[in-house]
Amino acid sequence: MTIRNLSPQAMFLALAREHKPKWRFTGKTAAQFRTWKKKALPDVLATLGDSIPRVKPNAKLLAEWEHKGLLRQRWIIDVQKHLSATLLVNLPKDLKKNERRPAIMCCHGHGPFGKEPVMGNDSTEELAASIKLHNYNYGEVMAQRGFCTYAIDWIGFGERNDNNKPNHSGLGAGQDWCNLYYLHATMMGTTSLAINVAHDKDESEVDRKLKAHSPRRDRFLDLVTLQGTLKLHNFEKAPADIVIIVSVPGKPLSASDDGTLRADPSKLKLTEREGTVRWRLTLEPDEDKTLSYKYERYVSSG
C-alpha cells in the first residue's frame, strides 16, 4: 500500500494550512483596520472577475398591500441581460410623499427561502418557523422602526434557484445550484458574486506592441496598453465628496480629471508591475461622471 497521499481533499487542506493570505489582517485598532481596508479593497474587487454590464431596470410593481403596520411592495426588475429579479420593499406607513429616509438593503443567508423570511413573509408554517428559529425578519423589524428596507434573492436562492417555482429546470439532479451557477460564471470569466454585485467598470485593449521584450531566447512578451472607464452618478440631493482608488495589474500611464498615478515600488519586475489610480472628486446632485485611465502591462506573446 502506498504511503503517499491520493486524496485531493487532503491536498487542498494541506495547501490551506500552508497558505498565508496576502491581505490577512494583523492589526488591533480601528485606525489599523481602516488602513488595511483601504489597501486591500482594490485587490478584493479585482477577484470578482469581469463586471456585468448594467441594463435599464424596467421596474414593474407586481403587488402592494398593508401588513403589520407597513406598506409592502413586490417589484420585478431587470438586473442584467437575460436575467431579472423580484424585489421586496417594506415602507413605514407614515412615510410622506417625496420624503427621503435611510434605506437598508437586507441580505439573506443560506436557506431555502431567500429574501422572504427576511422581509417578514410568514404566510406558511415553514416560513414562520424560519423566522422564529433565526430571529430572521430584520427587514420587517427595521421598517417598523422607521427605515425603508428592501431585499432580492441572490443567485441560487428563492425565486432565483432553478429547483424552485416559477423555474422548472431539473438539470441540477440534486446538486447545489449555488455551486453550479458559480462554475457557469467562472467559465464566462466572472463569478456569481460579480453578477450579484454590479460595478460599472470597463476595460479594453487599445494598443499592443508584439514581441516588445524577450527575457530569454525562447520567450517573448507583448506590451499591451489598456484603457479603463468608470461611470459614476450621484443620486443624492446634496453634493457628494468621494475618493476612488482603482488597482491596475501594470504600470499606470494616465488618468482623466487629475487622477493621481502610483506605481507599486515593491513590484518592479516587468511581468509583476502593479499600481493604482486615485481620484478625489465632488459630484453635484444628479451629476453623471465618467473617469478614464490607461495602463500598460507585459503579457506572453500568443
Cβ partners under 8 Å of residue 104, min gap 6: 139, 142, 147, 148, 149, 150
Comparing 77-86, 98-107, 189-198, the range with the smallest average pLDDT is 189-198
Angle at 182 between CA 176 and CA 184, to 5 degrees: 105
Comparing 174-178, 243-247, 264-268, 298-302, the range with the smallest average pLDDT is 174-178
Q: Give me the pLDDT at residue 232, please.
A: 81
Rounded mean pLDDT of 90-115?
91
Burial 165-197 (b: 16+ CB within 10 A, else e): eeeeeeeeeeeebeebbbeebeeeebbbebbbe
Percent of the chain with pLDDT over 90: 41
Q: Give me the pLDDT at residue 95, please.
A: 93
Judged against a pLDDT cut of 80, whether residue 73 lies above it is answered with yes
Read off the pTM: 0.59
Q: Give me the pLDDT at residue 116, please.
A: 96
C-alpha cell at 266: 515593491
- CA–CA distances in Å: residue 48 to residues 107, 186, 289: 18, 10, 23
Judged against a pLDDT cut of 80, whether residue 205 lies above it is answered with yes
Rounded CA gap, 167 and 186, in Å?
23
Residue 100: band (very low, low, confident or very high) from pLDDT cuts 50, 70, 90: confident
Contact 252, 277 (CB under 8 A): yes
Rounded CA gap, 52 and 93, in Å?
36
28-64, pLDDT tens digit by residue?
Answer: 999 999 889 888 887 887 777 766 777 888 999 999 9
Percent of the chain with pLDDT over 70: 92
Judged against a pLDDT cut of 80, whether residue 187 lies above it is answered with no
Q: Give me the pLDDT at residue 180, please.
A: 82
Judged against a pLDDT cut of 90, whether residue 66 lies above it is answered with yes
Judged against a pLDDT cut of 60, whether residue 221 lies above it is answered with yes
282-292, pLDDT tens digit by residue?
Answer: 888 878 888 99
C-alpha cell at 73: 411592495
Q: Give me the pLDDT at residue 162, please.
A: 82
The overall average pLDDT reported for the chain is 86
Residues linked to residue 89 through DSSP beta bridges, in sequence order: 73, 150
Domain limits, the chain: 60-167, 200-300
5-22, pLDDT tens digit by residue?
Answer: 888 888 989 999 999 888
Rounded CA gap, 244 and 197, in Å?
17
Q: Give me the pLDDT at residue 242, please.
A: 79
- Please tell me which residue, 55 or 252, carries the higher pLDDT value: 252
Rounded CA gap, 109 and 135, in Å?
12
Rounded CA gap, 228 and 105, in Å?
29
Q: Give me the pLDDT at residue 178, please.
A: 77
Phi, psi angle pair for 181, to nearest 5°: -60, -40
Judged against a pLDDT cut of 80, whether residue 254 lies above it is answered with yes
Comparing 180-189, 190-199, 201-210, the range with the smallest average pLDDT is 190-199
Cβ partners under 8 Å of residue 96, min gap 6: none
Contact 82, 155 (CB under 8 A): no
Rounded CA gap, 27 and 36, in Å?
8
